[in-house]
Structure formats: structure tokens, C-alpha cells
Structure 1
């Protein structure tokens, strides 16, 4: 297949040769690696890459990916990292408008031809011994905003969606020695119309990049449901296994004691008597392990994920966890570091988790995109409730000072955008579906409501009856046309008296403030006017302060 830049302005092309999204379980060559959490099947490609920057595609060195094309004149850049914070282009903070407004008059899905920076990344590598003679895949955990990938001069694939993994198979073109991996990252694409978040606008490969090998038998995906009936855990797992093998699944407690095992290949079902439930207060976790062996009993692959038994549901119009009413004492959290932007580290995440636990923050809305996969593991382990939000925000297409032409409104009910936004929902769900910390799926933020977002909500409900669906934007649609999208009344910055007016109606739906207080440079006075409602109205179930941590870039300028 030949690549084309036409994909950049076609909303119906958002993935070419990208493999299907899957759970973020860990894979290992054997149980010793699994116990040490050190997989030889994964080869990290983070570090120093060769790099060239162009202001737009017309200035871009388009053949840089060819094996004969030299990178001697390229600079070095750090991956993960943003181009703009390493001297290439300028960071820009934009809220409701799009970055090009006031500079160029553009209509969806078109993008600027003169201001669309392109980063040409090259990484030379040899294949680790443990990955040889196996199927090899590459995983980009986060790239803003559109990327083309080549290996040894051959086109591999294309992908959009900055905040979920993009993975491709490299097997037909990979060599044991002297591989040239080339990635072109475009700052603007049709996806830019879907990513109008209120934050710093960056670009580049800003999350981990790694290779992973699939042995002769491989767990491609696992879907785990760990329900809780008030006494016992009801466990089920559906396994997607490729290759000939024998299968052994085991569940162990926090002490490593095996409490259940099975030899079923496709599905596992257990009742765990007197299981310990998971909650933010006591985040009990169990370990689910799948061991694949050959006919001689040798281990081929070991897959592992953490699970927590819990039941989250609506009971008589109240959100309940393990049978008890829940109150979200939450915050909205952007991934951010003053030096590296959204390219954050494990240490950054641990600081955030520990700060939240010390200050009685029990919930986070991942505003307004899926976070680094490690964040979900930490929230499982430490006990943080999550609203997991799809990477979708389009308020620049409708939130303007005057009346906008309805044809501007994205995604609305426009058929050309439907599959792109559904893909974003699917990619988030598939990666995060096994995490106990995720209680609610969110269809995005401040995007024009219509049939496309309704389809996202229907998708979440069809694949996951164990969680609820959130979308605040229905409150702005006349005549409550799309109220069925969300399972809860969710508002932004409603005054306490406005919240109470809603609660007095006894609508049968719980209420949360998905954004309130606006604490950016603000003292947060008057919070008790909201928290007093917790005891007065059962349907008031808390909210998420805007926002956590200052999105400030450290600079040496005055």
C-alpha cells in the first residue's frame, strides 16, 4: 500500500493497517519474568531519536524514510517528548477557539497548508534476541496528532487519535540487525477538529514507544469482569488466544495464594467465596494470570492483569458501589509537567496519587482524553475512582460569540465523523476495560451533541453493562432530545442554588458537577455550599473541581 497525504483531511480515514485495540495486560516469556515484572518480550524504543522539523508539508523532506536517505543532517530529539518543548515550533495555549483562528479561515475537515509542522523521526535499532523468530509489533502509546510509519523503507501504517495506543505489525519487514524505523508526525489533520481541548497545543511522540513479540501462542486480548454480590466475587474472563497451546488460568490473592484455577481456553468462570471487595478506601486487588504451554509443558507466554471485585450500579436513581451510595470528592486532572508538558513520568503520577490520597480526593475525571495506561494501574492499586473520558472536544465548532452555521457543528449527526468518534470510544474501552478504578465511561467534553455521540453511548452500553455512561453536553440541546445518552445529570459551573433547584425536582437521576469551582488561580471559597447538599439530597453525588495542578511551562524568560 502507498501512503497519501490526502488522509490528513479525510475524517473517514483515521487508521490504516493499525491492529485492533486490546486490553493493556502485561505479557511475559515465563512466570519468573512475570513475578519480577520484567518482560523480555518487550523492547523499549524510548530515548534519543534522529529528528528533522519542517514548518509545513511543502518544506518536508518526504523521502526521509527510505533506507538510502541519510539522517546525517538531522538533529537529536528525546522520545517521549513534545517537539515544541525541545526547540521546534512554539507551544500555544488555546481554550474554546481552534489554533488557526484569526490566522486562516478554515472549514472542517480542512487544515492549514502553510502552518502544519511536520516532525520526521528516525530510530535505528537491532532486534533483541528474545523477539527474534516471532511476530513483532510496535506500540505507540501516544502521538499528537497524525502519524505515518515506515520500517526499512516500507510503509507500515497511519493513525490518528493522540491519546490511545496505535499499534502495527512489523513482522514482514523487520530484520535482526540494522532496522530503520521512520515516523512522520503531522501537527494538524482532520483529527485536530476533534481535539480542541482547553490546554497547551503540542505535537510529537509524547508517550512510550516499544516493540513486543507474540510467541507461537499469544493472548491478544482478555476481557475480565470481576463482579461482587455483597459477599462473593463473580469472576468471568473471555480470552482471545492465537496459536496452538494448552491454557491454565489462575487467580491469586494479595499474598500470592492460588484461590481458583481453570484449563478452559476461551472463557473462565469462577465464584470466589468471601472475596474482598475493591473500593477507594480499601483497594483490594487480585492477580489474574494466563499461562500458555506447548505439548511438552514448556511455557510459551504468561499474561497477567490485576482485578478488583466491585459492583457499580444505579439503585433507585442513586449511584452505588458495592451497595452503598457513593460521593465523588473529585478533581479534573490534566497530565502535565512544567518541563515536559504531557510527557509525564511514573514519578509524576505517583506524586499526584499520593497528593490526592493525603487530601481526601477520591475521584478523577481524565479531562479530556484517556490518560497514560500506568495511571489506571496506580488508581487501581491506591484507590481512585475514574471517569474515563474519550478523546473528543469540538467546542470551537459551535461555541462562538454569534450563531454558527449548523454545518460547522462537529460531530453532531454528520455521518462522515461517526466512525472516527466511535473508534475513539472503542480504543479507550478496549484498553481500559479491565481496570477496577474505571466506574464511568465519558463520551467526551463540550462536543456538539447528536446521533454520533448517541452512537458512542449505545456502544458503551452494548459492550459493558457493568459501568455507567456520562455526557454533560446533552444539557445544551433543546427539548432534552438526547438525554438518554447519559445515565446522570451532569453540569458545569452550576451555582449551588441551581443545583438545588434540579435536586428538588426528584427527576430519578443522580446529579454530579463534572466541572465546578474553577480553582485555577482561585481561592476555592464557598465549597461548603456544594458539600452541604451531600447530606440534604441523596441524588447529589459530588463533583470534580476544575482543575488539578497548574498547566504552566517553566521558562527562563522574564
Structure 2
């Protein structure tokens, strides 16, 4: 019965803890209140297959087991988690649920403090996954179906003071409410948020709504407070409310508390309103999270009771296609955030919540969308304090029945009530700048009803709802004004948002509620999105999908830990690894893509001014604060070697302004007075001057690189021409020899099978055409059927995962007196040998350098392939890796803005990036040279001509393609070195736009070259 959403549940209210005095309310933690008692901890538990099995006999004689509360029983050894994205986990049509309906029974006893006798006692459930049925001392108390907001019950009349009380809670995993909680996540079950008791006086503070607004000129604050009190029988004679505002140091703002008496006028509603001007308060924003504390005291003839809430003075406006905070346009640098822990499921500790927010601040995130439900109240306290702009989203998603539920009048009350539950609980948090009516639930009258209530109750915040302007099915980016004050599309192309900015007359700003789907090796073209944000005022950023991979930690048969996804628990139906789409792993280790976000979202920009004179410009990209909280350092590099460095002056730069800096120590090289050996770059790094609540002093906040002009020393001539090159031909081989160095080619295969000196071969197998990569999730999700437009099905149709090679010819040529070995191969994975033609020309110089020219021709109908390059196999010993190119983290042609050109050292093993679904990783672009050596420095040097891209791994592309979990990968002993003209970009096509054409391999022929030589310490 969807109309029945709860029974005997108290009205929703703000998060308030009662204290005996105003001083206690200001200074003491919730747990220190004598009127608070936690029921968290170990409870007794029984699990049944269906609710009908829960009988008095089963409860009395059941085999009770211990279980942790808060917690999900699905990750505590009872039942199993189940992952679906859109589809429901069962076939029933709403509002019917399956007969097989896992049902958990929780039991614990508690005693009530003697001092609570004669007072009102409330039982609080912070959130329960599933339908909640509560019994106390054998009597029914009530029920609730909203899994993500509190359910509170007045148990005063049922509590015993002469002994223990027995609390029995029955939770059914499925109810008619499940159809509007279909939220692209694991289906769990159980008491997943905290459970506690609190006590109030008989007259009591019922609710407080405190708004810190600003005057029209944004100078003075306006505090508006609405206080509701509960009076049994309606008698409020002699009762009054006092309110005092305290600043961050605990100093009272008002000379004396504000006061209002409950007179005859307020009896019907038990409500009073207070208003007071606050001259020039400190304003709240994500950059300046300045907070005040409001302490409200209810004074009655029988005593007093106090509670506190947070106040932040700020104004939210939408004007001229801009979202304004305190009168300034802000850029939303956001993340979508699900509740997930790889061990505890959706039950999060306060430490986990805070560590997530600290990590986000470290990576320059300033906004969070609570996808797709309200979080634990403590989360908002942290967001207030750390400084995040929050879209608070109602617990509504009916993805499987997208348009049905929003027009079903049986669910109207549930839609409206869930929005009310969220708004009433969270209304006092300044971090919340939008109310969201839910996610992917179509658009219908149920949304209009919910929006109407919010607009009437809290006009200080705008509304957000993507479903009203959904772009799916080719719909236009328009409409939905009744329920959304912002254009908030999901996964629009860059072309489309630019068109909105340039051509649309819609007065709303565009803030993408989801974009840059972070599944696996992803977040391609993030810099292109940001270029649009910074160019067009109407485009104000968006929220990456999403923060954390939803893998659940498991142990494989071989003892290795891995993260499981849909289907790994025999959960049918499922959507495989579509839940592993975060920009951090489940343990919160950042994906490489998060570095790209951090770089783009950093609070400053470095621009070249007059570089030959050593001048640069440092621009403050922040909205509210000076850059002086940072310090900067610079260095000038010559072919990756530092030749000059220094510290930047104090960064006294106001928001939007710039500081011109002259790098005196670099002028000799930049001006050309001193010559350099090769390429020069200016690198800048910026660090916190002092510790913050999210990072220590010295933490790196941002970085930048400028290509610097310099005069290069004249190269020595003739050195490579000294000596001669000998050619030896046999029936099986062709050998080029220069001094001690020789290159050996096998006639039968056309492969370079030997390169080295003195009998030491640096190759296991020489270069061979490679057009394949371990497909990324964006190329195509391996465990799901991909639509025809995606890359992977096209690649598999071409047989790129099973390419065979045929030697067309191998012959000895001569150019300018130098011998050249030309090898031509044909390649195909489907037996059509004109798919690929690979022409290689090898020239060994007298200095022992093997120059390799490559031409790759693609046949008719063969285009947009994963990569164009060659693969070499090297001996196990060549484990040490050094390169001069972009790094240190992996980078691709559409995700490389954050990766600076420099010299980096690593190992082949360390290039592995353990994406939950094994796939392409470890690539580097704009590489001038690289070296793979053994422990004593002997090995192979590779030079681009002028640049190449490369990756080095102990896995082949097909190793990655065939594996479904990390534990299925076994590193090979050999080193697989890929030297590429390039790879297809990453894009975001697992759920969003495909790789942009400029990052795809669309030409019919490619030419590239490189040199191979022994390192100076080689054999």
C-alpha cells in the first residue's frame, strides 16, 4: 500500500539534541547530554526468507546471532548484496513485491535512566534499508518506509523504568517503497544508521528553522528563526523562547538573547518567530566556511531546555544565467557521492565521512551532490565546517519505472513526504544551496506537488531536478521551470553545452548534475569541459560521476583480496561492474583521473607574460579569498634537469586579480644569454603555508608548466657518421653490425630478433604492429552487451583482439650509402590481409643507433582503432624505467593536462594501475625518450622522432581483456613495451559522450619513427 508510508512516526524536524542549559548546548557534544542514550552496538539478529516466517515461536526459539548496528546484514554474513542499475532485482510490477522477501529481526534490551521518568522519551532510527516495523515490550510502536531519513517514535507510554525494555525491530528488504529507491547501487538491508534515545521535557522544543540571510547590499546579516514547541494539551502559559547567536570563538553576538513569548496568538501552532539584523557578519562560502552557533532555549514554568544549530550567513541567487553565492558567480567543482564502504556497505562511520571530505578538499573539490538520497546528519555538519556547496537530493528514484511512478497518485504522498523529510531535517545547514527532488524518476505531477511545497516552505534555496529536462531520447535542453531553477543535464556533450551558452535564451545557468563518468580508466576530455566552463559564464561546472568505486572487498581462492561487483554474489539479475565507476577506489586511493580534476580545479593559473624577460602572471581563480594562503616555488629545466630555481614572492592576490612576477634567476637562459642543451620548461608548484583541517602545512595544492623559450647549444656534427656498417646475410637472417652492436632480422618472420652487443640480446622479440589494447570500460563494458556505436563491438568485429601477421616481404635496401632493412607485414584479425599494412625501415648508424621508420596503412572500412604502434618484448631484467615525457601518472591524448613534461623514474611493475575491471593503463604521451635497464643501468634506450607514446607492462593487452578481476591477472616475466604513434583517447562512453573525434585515430595512414640504442652502461 504505497499510500501508507509510515505509522506513528513523529513529524520530521531539524537535527536537535536537548540539553539542560544554554551553556551545555553551546559547549557540549551530543553524547554528553544527560538526555541522550545511544543504542548502537551489538544486537541479536535472526534472518528469515519471508515476513510470514516471523512468528512468536520463531522469535522465542530462534538461533539468534550477534550483528553490528549500524550495519547492513547483507555484508555481515546474512543474505547477500545485490547490484542493479536500472532494472529492479525482482520481476514484480509496482507496488507488488516478491514472496521471497528477506526479513531481518533485530533485538536488544535497554534500561532508561531514572532521571528520565516523567519526561517525554523518543526512539530515533537514523536510517533503515527496507521497511521498518518497531515493537517495544511486546507492543507495536510504528512503521516507516523512507530508508534514508530518520524515523522517530514517541515511546513514553511504553517504556518501563522498573527493569529492562525489550526492543524488537523487524525489517523487510522489499516493500512498495523499493520502486522509488532504485538508485544504481547495491541493494542492502538493515539498520544502517545510528539508533538512539533522547528525552525532552513535556513542553519541549519541537523544531528550529534558522536562516542566515543577507541584506540586499550583502553587507549586513539577517537572522530569521522560527521555533516550534510542543505543548501537551496546547497550554503554553508562561512559556517563552530565548535565542542567542555565538561566533566561532564562542562570543555572544547579541547584547542580550532574543526573546519571544508564546501568547494566545501562537497557541494553535506552538510557533514563534524571531528576526534580528547582524551587522557585517563573516559570510559563509565554500572558500570561507565561517559559522555561527544559534542556541535556542525553551523556558517554561517547570524549567528550561536548550538546543543548538549551525548558522551561516550567505545569499543564494540566480540572476542573468548565473548562480550567485553572496553576489558572486561560483564555479561548481563537484562530485556525486554515494554512501559506500567496501567492508560495511552503506553504513559509514563518522571517520569515513570526514576522510572523504578531507580527500575532496585536497583535490580541490568544492561541491557535492548527495546522490541519490540524503546523507547522515553528521555529513552536513562536516560540509558546513569544511566548506562544500551541497545539492541535497531527496530519496526518490524510480529508474526501472521511469515515467510511471511520478504520475501514479498512489505514490504522490511518498514523493512529497520524502522531500519534506529531507528539507525539514537539513534546513539549517548553510552548505545546502539546492534542494533536489530526486533522480531519474521521470517528470510528473508528483514532482510538481513536491516542488510546490518546497517553494512555499523555503524560498531561500533554488530547486534542482534533472528529470524535468532529461536529454535522453534526443530531447531538447529546455522546460521544467516549475521544478528546477537550474539547467542540470546528465552527460551532455561539450558541443551541446556550448550551444546552450551561445544560442539558448533560457535564463537558467547550466550545471551538469552528472558528467565525466569515471568508470575505470576514464575522464577523457575533462580539460575540454573546463575550457568551456571558463569561457562561457552560463556554464558553471558540474558534478563528476562519481566519487567512489562501489566494490565490496572479498578474498579470492588464491588468497588475494579483490573488489567484487554485480554478479559476484550470484545476484541475478545484475549490471556487472557498472557500480565500479568512481574516481577513487573503494579504499579511497585516487584514480589517476583525479589528478586531472585537481589540476583543472586548482585555485590559480600561471600565464606567460614576457618570458624572455622572465615575467609570468599568477591569476587568482578563487571567488572570495586572497591567494596568500599559498606559497609558490619555481624551477627551470633543461631536458628535464633543473638549471635554476627559486621561490615566488608573497602571493598577495585578490580574487580575479593577477600578480606579475619576474623570475630574475631564470633570465640568463630565457633571454638567450646562456644556452641550453635541449627543451626548457618552467615548472611551478604551490603549497599551503599553514595547516588546515584537511591537509598539513606544505601540502601541494596546485602546479603548472610553461614551455620556455631558450637558445640551444650547437650540436656536435659528424659523431654519428664515424665508422661503417657491415651487412651479413644468411639463408635465415640479415644482420647489420656497427662496431660491437648488431641488429639481427629473421627472414622467415621479418622480425628483429636480436639487438645488442657481445652476445647480449636486449630483445626477446622485436617490434611488431600493435593495434589493440585491453579495452577500457568506455570502449565497451565486457560483461554487458554494448550498443553498436561503441568502440569495442566494432573492434571485435574486426578481430583486433586476435590479429595475425603475414610477412609480405623483407629486403635489403640502400640510401646514401647506408644499408636499410625494409620489412612489410600484413595484418588482420578476420583473414582480410588488406586490413593493415605495416612498413618498417631499419637503419643502423655507425654509432650503433638503430633508427626505425614506420608506416601503417589501414584498409577500407578500418578506422578508429585502439592504437597505432608496435610492441616489443624485452628480457625480465629490464625492470627499471626512466623517461622524459609526461608523467608521473598515466596520461592519454585527452587526459594529459595535469601531467607535466619531465624526467621520471619508476619500474615496469609500478606502471600497473589496478582498475577493478582489468583494462588498458599505464600509458604516457609526448615522450622524448625512455630507458629500460637492469639494476646496474644496462639496457635499452628509445628515442622518439621527435616524440612517441609508450607503456611498459608485465601484462599483454589480451591478458587485460580476458581477466574479469585483478586476482585473475598473473604478471608475466617479460616486459611488454608498446611504442605508439598514439592511442585512441579515453572519452567517457561507459555512460556519456564517446571520445571526441580529435582524439580518435581516423586517418588512413600513419607515419612515426624512433631510435633504439644501448644505454651507455650496456654490455
Return the TM-score normalized by structure 1: 0.92
Post-superposition offset of 1:73: 2.8
C-alpha distance in 2 between matches for 1:521 and 1:131: 54
Structure 1 residue 21 and structure 2 residue 7: aligned?
Answer: no
Post-superposition offset of 1:63: 6.4
1:368–1:389 CA contact under 8 A, matched in 2: yes
User: 1:233 is matched with which residue?
Assistant: 221
Post-superposition offset of 1:522: 2.6
C-alpha distance in 2 between matches for 1:119 and 1:410: 30
Once structures 1 and 2 are overlaid, which stretch shifts more, 27-36 or 372-381? 27-36
Structure 1 residue 411 and structure 2 residue 405: aligned?
Answer: yes
Once structures 1 and 2 are overlaid, which stretch shifts more, 439-448 or 522-531? 522-531
2:414 to 413, 420, 435: 420
User: 2:297 is matched with which residue?
Assistant: 291
Structure 1 residue 474 and structure 2 residue 468: aligned?
Answer: yes
C-alpha distance in 2 between matches for 1:310 and 1:27: 27
C-alpha distance in 1 between matches for 2:34 and 2:507: 52
C-alpha distance in 1 between matches for 2:446 and 2:28: 44
2:207 to 221, 230, 233: 221
Post-superposition offset of 1:357: 1.1
User: 1:512 is matched with which residue?
Assistant: 511
Structure 1 residue 186 and structure 2 residue 172: aligned?
Answer: yes
1:50–1:71 CA contact under 8 A, matched in 2: no
C-alpha distance in 1 between matches for 2:16 and 2:352: 22
In the superposition, relative to structure 1, how do residues 518 and 62 fare at CA in structure 2: closer, same or farther (>3 Å)? Answer: farther
2:470–2:490 CA contact under 8 A, matched in 1: no
Q: Specify the SS of the correspondent of 2:46.
A: strand
Post-superposition offset of 1:215: 1.2
Once structures 1 and 2 are overlaid, which stretch shifts more, 302-311 or 516-525? 516-525
C-alpha distance in 1 between matches for 2:437 and 2:461: 13
**Higher RCO structure (Cα 8 Å, ≥6 apart):** 1
C-alpha distance in 2 between matches for 1:74 and 1:445: 38
C-alpha distance in 2 between matches for 1:410 and 1:181: 38
User: 1:403 is matched with which residue?
Assistant: none
1:410–1:417 CA contact under 8 A, matched in 2: no
C-alpha distance in 2 between matches for 1:321 and 1:62: 57
In the superposition, relative to structure 1, how do residues 471 and 538 fare at CA in structure 2: closer, same or farther (>3 Å)? Answer: same
In the superposition, relative to structure 1, how do residues 543 and 82 fare at CA in structure 2: closer, same or farther (>3 Å)? Answer: same
1:108 to 80, 89, 94: 94
C-alpha distance in 1 between matches for 2:528 and 2:390: 24
Q: Specify the SS of the correspondent of 2:288.
A: coil
In the superposition, relative to structure 1, how do residues 394 and 179 fare at CA in structure 2: closer, same or farther (>3 Å)? Answer: same
1:439 to 433, 450, 475: 433
1:246–1:295 CA contact under 8 A, matched in 2: no
Structure 1 residue 88 and structure 2 residue 88: aligned?
Answer: no
Structure 1 residue 345 and structure 2 residue 349: aligned?
Answer: yes
Indicate the RMSD between aligned Cα atoms, in angstroms.
1.7
Structure 1 residue 494 and structure 2 residue 485: aligned?
Answer: no
Structure 1 residue 320 and structure 2 residue 324: aligned?
Answer: yes
1:379–1:437 CA contact under 8 A, matched in 2: yes
Once structures 1 and 2 are overlaid, which stretch shifts more, 142-151 or 455-464? 455-464
In the superposition, relative to structure 1, how do residues 440 and 71 fare at CA in structure 2: closer, same or farther (>3 Å)? Answer: farther
User: 2:447 is matched with which residue?
Assistant: 453
Q: In the TM superposition, what whole-angstrom CA distance separates every residue of 1:340-398 from its partner, at most 9, and x where no partner exists? A: 01100110011011111111100000000000010000000110110000111111114
1:454–1:482 CA contact under 8 A, matched in 2: no
1:150 to 130, 135, 143: 135
User: 2:285 is matched with which residue?
Assistant: 279
- Provide structure 1 residue ranges, at least 5 long, that are not aligned to the other structure: 1-9, 399-408
Q: Specify the SS of the correspondent of 2:18.
A: strand
C-alpha distance in 1 between matches for 2:61 and 2:347: 25
Return the TM-score normalized by structure 2: 0.51
1:225–1:235 CA contact under 8 A, matched in 2: yes
State the structure with more CA Rg.
2
User: 2:398 is matched with which residue?
Assistant: 394
C-alpha distance in 1 between matches for 2:407 and 2:433: 27
Once structures 1 and 2 are overlaid, which stretch shifts more, 244-253 or 327-336? 244-253
Post-superposition offset of 1:481: 6.2
Q: Specify the SS of the correspondent of 2:287.
A: coil
Structure 1 residue 173 and structure 2 residue 158: aligned?
Answer: yes
Structure 1 residue 368 and structure 2 residue 372: aligned?
Answer: yes
C-alpha distance in 2 between matches for 1:156 and 1:196: 28
Q: In the TM superposition, what whole-angstrom CA distance separates every residue of 1:146-200 from its partner, at most 9, and x where no partner exists? A: 0111111111101101000011110111101211111100000000000001001
C-alpha distance in 2 between matches for 1:481 and 1:330: 24
Q: Specify the SS of the correspondent of 2:260.
A: coil
User: 2:667 is matched with which residue?
Assistant: none
